[in-house]
Amino acid sequence: MCGRYSFSKKKVPQEHRFTSKLEGLVFSPNFDARPSQQMPVILPEAAKAMMATWASPEKEPDGKPTLPFNVRQENLLYIPRFRELLPRHRCLIPVDGFFEWKELEEEEEPEAPAPAPAADLGLDLFGNPIRSKEEKARSRKPKPRKQKYRFTLKNEEPFGLAGLWRESLNPGTGELVAHFSIITTQANNAVQPYHDRMPVILTPQSEEIWLDNSLAEKQWYHVLQPYDAKQMKVMAIDEAESIWGNYVAPALNSK
């Protein structure tokens, strides 16, 4: 799964393969990109990248999103609306990192003393005992604490994620609007301790294959593989700081 990522044009080296594609494209650095936001995408046979919205708000008759924020690699050839996009609507999403969260193991707390007997507040309309605010608060389970993790390449250079894109008509303006989705695959050894899915990261060579419309389906589908875990790194980060691009260690280390 990939529900957040980061990308800043300022972090793209001048000699990087994305530089010419992004030239002239105006957008703000986004250190916590999420579905519904506009981000750059690179299309086959296009000299320049374009801005597109992550995920489509449109729904299918069965209520499922026409283009969700993630598409499982295993479903590409079996779900008709995705299969129809594959021949001419593959794209590359430039990023410099993506994020996952993991629940922290909570330390066992000493058993609290038994609460005093509750005052009798009578019954509600359904015959259930009416509980006080204090009782409701005690019975509420606290939300589990989660640690945010950032995944990058070891060399910390920007990289490309495999994706699909499509255009739809904005009913309000009558304009065509582009949307994109990130393709996910099984997690490699670097990501697996945090999540069982990961975005498809493409190497520079597999990017060329993925964006080549002259190749056969078997050739570009073959590049949708888990990335080499040895070429990646992960770090626990402070969530509040990371939204501003400050990838610092959290105050409390994860377990």
Q: Over 80: is that where the pLDDT of 149 sits?
A: yes
Whether 114 is in a domain gets the answer no
Separation CA 155–CA 158 (nearest Å): 9
Whether 192 is in a domain gets the answer yes
Whether 19 is in a domain gets the answer yes
Q: What is the span of the domain harbouring residue 77?
A: 5-97+159-228
**Are 55 and 65 spatial neighbours (Cβ–Cβ below 8 Å)?**
yes
How does the average pLDDT of the chain come out, rounded?
88
Separation CA 160–CA 94 (nearest Å): 5
Q: Give the CATH number of the domain where residue 23 resides.
A: 3.90.1680.10
**Are 99 and 210 spatial neighbours (Cβ–Cβ below 8 Å)?**
no
Whether 127 is in a domain gets the answer no
Segment among 73-77, 114-118, 184-188, 221-225 with least mean pLDDT? 114-118
Q: Give the global pTM.
A: 0.84
Separation CA 8–CA 31 (nearest Å): 7
Counting the structural domains of the chain, the total is 1
Whether 120 is in a domain gets the answer no
pLDDT at 170: 76
pLDDT at 116: 60
pLDDT tens digit sequence for 21-72: 999 999 999 999 999 999 999 999 899 999 999 999 888 888 888 899 999 9
Separation CA 38–CA 53 (nearest Å): 4
Q: Over 60: is that where the pLDDT of 246 sits?
A: yes
Segment among 12-21, 41-50, 81-90, 129-138 with least mean pLDDT? 129-138
